Amino acid sequence: MNISRNIKKIITSFIATFVIVSMAGCTSNDSKEVKSNTQVKSYNQESETKNTDSKEAQLHFIDTGNSDAILIKQGDKAALIDGGDNDDEGTVVKYLKNQGVNELEYVFATHPHADHIGGLDAVINAIPVKNVYVSNGDANTKTYTDFIKAIANRGLHPSVPLLNSEFELGTSKFKVLSVANTDDPNNNSIVLEYINGNDKVLLMGDAEADIEAKINAEDVDLLKVGHHGSHSSSTKEFIDKVKPEYAVIMAGKDNKYGHPHKETMDTLKSRNIEVHRSDECGDIIFTSTGNGLKVNCNKGSYKSGNEKGYNQGNTNDSSLKNSQNKINSNKNDQSNQVVSNNKEGIVYWTPKGKSYHTTKNCSALSKSKNILSGTIQESGKSDPCDRCN
């Protein structure tokens, strides 16, 4: 899908601002020009020893199906990591308002895939945001364009955070563990460690095995499993390094990708890691006391999903990589073919949604009460859903 000339100008101007990092949320009070996204920011001893005190914080893993939306709140300070898919925007905005969020200190868009940024435009339009942080790279999609438009309309200036930079949230903080610049948007995910007192939470976005090997983290209390529990993430070596007590998996019920995959669940089970899943529990809420975590839902199962066309039996790393490469190489062809394949067929949509769906059972429509059907032309939508197409 082509982006209009004006939007391209906006994106170009924002890309220029990516080399300037706003330090308002960092532990250092000065600002500086960013020479490289891998430059390590230095901190004085006072800032490194700050935040020895802690108070309770809530970590909300919002159930948006096979997508990510994570709210972290401490007192009246709040941050949002990703915002679900396009059809989740109403769910996410309502959830934030129900939690009393009147302002967001930070919005982190881990990477530009629709299942992570689809609802962020609605969030930015509905709730004041102080700082927006994005990964390296962009996307030539309507979803990304809507995200950029919302940022521009609010007069915000997104930036790519520095590796190892820190952002305070009350008496807690985020630390950036990865901001890679590769050809794979998943591996460009902003990886964050959230620290509240002695509690450590690792938020992986969709980062995969190559990035996991480079992550400098160990002995975390909670791991938000990368890429919805895909076999492309959560290697045995990585899990043994970070040693989480809890693992959260954000996956849609009966999703077509088979998330979470058998390899991931077997790894977590063999290490006796307590699992909590949005496809089984819905919204998952952890409370961080600064000296331990509490959770609102029962322990989840180690059951894997059922991905059509993918054998989740015993496979070696090479076959897994080849399988993932085939999926990635066909992705563009599938998205280009979807409109022509459905021109004479029936599609489904919601009045306020941005995308059309090829099945009424799409997980993105699971919470929608007003689902319409007809041809693509009748829908007035030109953007296919990333989940069911």
Residues 354, 357, 363, 365, CA torsion sign: positive
- What is the arithmetic mean of pLDDT over 111-119? 97
The listed CATH number (3.30.420.40, 3.10.180.10, 3.40.190.10, 3.60.15.10) that belongs to domain 5-21+50-295: 3.60.15.10
Integer Cα distance of 236 and 264 in angstroms: 9
Strand residue runs (E) in 21-148:
57-61, 69-74, 77-83, 104-109, 129-134
pLDDT value at 37 more than 70: no
pLDDT value at 239 more than 90: yes
The three-class DSSP label of residue 73 is: strand
The pTM assigned to this predicted structure is 0.71
pLDDT value at 140 more than 60: yes
Task: Check residue 243 and give left, alpha or beta (phi > 0: left; psi -120 to 50: alpha).
Answer: left
Radius of gyration of the chain (CA): 20
Range of lowest pLDDT (39-53, 133-147, 164-178, 247-261)? 39-53
What residues contact residue 371 under an 8 Å CB cut-off, 6+ apart? 348, 349, 350, 360, 365
Question: Alpha helix (H) ranges present in 154-235?
Answer: 209-212
Integer Cα distance of 174 and 59 in angstroms: 13
Single out the residue of 115, 103, 288, 275 nearest to residue 194, CA to CA. Answer: 288
Q: Which two tokens stand for residue 124?
A: 């930015």
With b meaning 16 or more CB within 10 Å and e meaning fewer, what string describes 25-43? bbbeeeeeebeebeeebeb
191 in Cβ contact with 53 (< 8 Å): no
276 in Cβ contact with 45 (< 8 Å): no
φ, ψ dihedrals at 248, nearest 5°: -110, 130
Tens digits of residue pLDDT in 277-306: 999 999 999 999 999 999 999 999 999 997
Tens digits of residue pLDDT in 56-78: 999 999 999 999 999 999 999 99
pLDDT value at 211 more than 90: yes
Range of lowest pLDDT (8-17, 119-128, 217-226, 360-369)? 8-17
pLDDT band at 49 (very low <50, low <70, confident <90, very high): very low
Domain-wise residue ranges, the chain: 5-21+50-295, 337-389
- What's residue 365's pLDDT? 81
